[in-house]
Chains A and B, each alone.
Chain A
Amino acid sequence: MSNNGRPLSPHLSIYRWPITMTMSILHRATGLALTVGFIVLTAWLFAVASGAEAYSVFTSYMDTVAGKIMLVGWSFTFFFHLSNGVRHFVWDFGRGFERPQANASAWFVLLLAIASTALFWWLRL
C-alpha cells in the first residue's frame, strides 16, 4: 500500500489494549466455540437415543482428560457468552455506553462468568 508520506488515521496497533476490546473478540470466539459445543450436545442426544452401547462410546470420549477440559471450557464459554449477551442487551437499550461503565461491566461479566463456571462444577461434582 503506497502511503506517500501522508498521515494515517490511528488503527488498532496505536491504542493501549482495553478490556472492552478483549470482551468484544471473546464474545465472537465463545460464540463459535459454542457452535462446536452444539455439535457435542447433538452427539449426546443422538448417543442417548442410540442405546446404552453407543452411549458408553460417547462417554468414553468425554471421560478423557481432553474431553473434560473441553467440557469445562464449554461451560465457561456458555456463561461468558450468556453474561456478555445480557451486557449487549443493556447497550441495545442505550445504557452503559460511558467508558467507565463499559469497562466496569466488562470486568463484572468476566468475573461473573468465572464464578458461574465454578458454581456449576461445584454443584455438579
Chain B
Amino acid sequence: MSLRTPLSRVLWRGTAKNGTGHFWGQRVSGVALVLLGLWFAGSMTTISGSVHADALAFIGAPLNGVLLLLLSVTIAYHSHIGVQVVIEDYVHGHGLNMISLIVSRFAHSLLAVISVYAIFKIGLGA
C-alpha cells in the first residue's frame, strides 16, 4: 500500500527509488578503476612514449585492446558522474546548471566514442 497522496503521484513527485544508484555507480566503477588503473600505470612504465610503432603494438595487442576499452569506458562513466556532482554543488542557477550537465554529458560521450573508435581502429589494423 502506498502512503503517497493521489496528487503527489499525479505530479510525479517524491522518491524515484534510485537515490542510491549514483552512490553505487561511483563505488563499483571505482573498484574496477583501481584494477584497470594499476594495470595501465604498470603498462606505461614498460612502453616508450615517443615511438609510434611501440604504442601501436601495445594498443594493438588483443588483451591490451580489451583492457583499454574497459578502462576508457569506465573512466568516462566514473568521470561523468563525478563531474556531475561537482556541477550540482557549484554551478548555481537552473539554466546554467542544466547546460553544464548537458555539456559534460556530451563531452564524456564524445571522449568515450573517440577512445573506443581509436582502439578498434588500431586493433583491427584498419
Binding site for B on A (CB under 8 A): 28, 31-32, 34-35, 38-39, 41-42, 44-46, 48-49, 51-52, 55-56, 59, 62-63, 75, 78-79, 82, 85-86, 88-89, 92, 120, 123-124
Q: Is the CB of A45 within 8 A of B118?
A: yes
* Interface pair A38/B68, CB less than 8 Å apart: no
Residues facing A in B23-81 (CB within 8 A) are 27, 30-31, 33-34, 37-38, 41, 44-45, 49-50, 52-53, 55-56, 59, 68, 72, 75-76, 79
Contact of B79 with A48 in the complex, beta carbons under 8 Å: no
In the complex, what residues of A have CB within 8 A of residue B30's CB? Answer: 85, 88-89
> Which residues of A have CB within 8 Å of B91?
none
Q: Which residues of A contact B34 (CB under 8 A)?
A: 82, 85-86
Interface size on B, residues (CB 8 A): 33
Given A38-B111, A82-B37, A85-B30, also A45-B52 (CB < 8 A) = no
B45 touches A46 (CB 8 A): no
Could you tell me if B114 and A46 are in contact, using CB atoms closer than 8 angstroms?
A: yes
Given A82-B37, A85-B34, A86-B34, answer yes or no on A45-B114 (Cβ-Cβ < 8 Å): yes
Complex Cα spacing A41 to B45, Å: 15
Main secondary structure of the interface of B (DSSP, over half): helix
Which single residue of chain A is at the shortest CB-CB distance from B90?
A28
Q: How far is the CA of A59 from the CA of B53 in the complex (A)?
A: 13
Residue of B nearest to A119 (CB): B45
Q: In this complex, what residue of B is CB-closest to A48? A: B55
In-complex Cβ contact of B72 among A32, A34, A41, A79 (8 A): A41
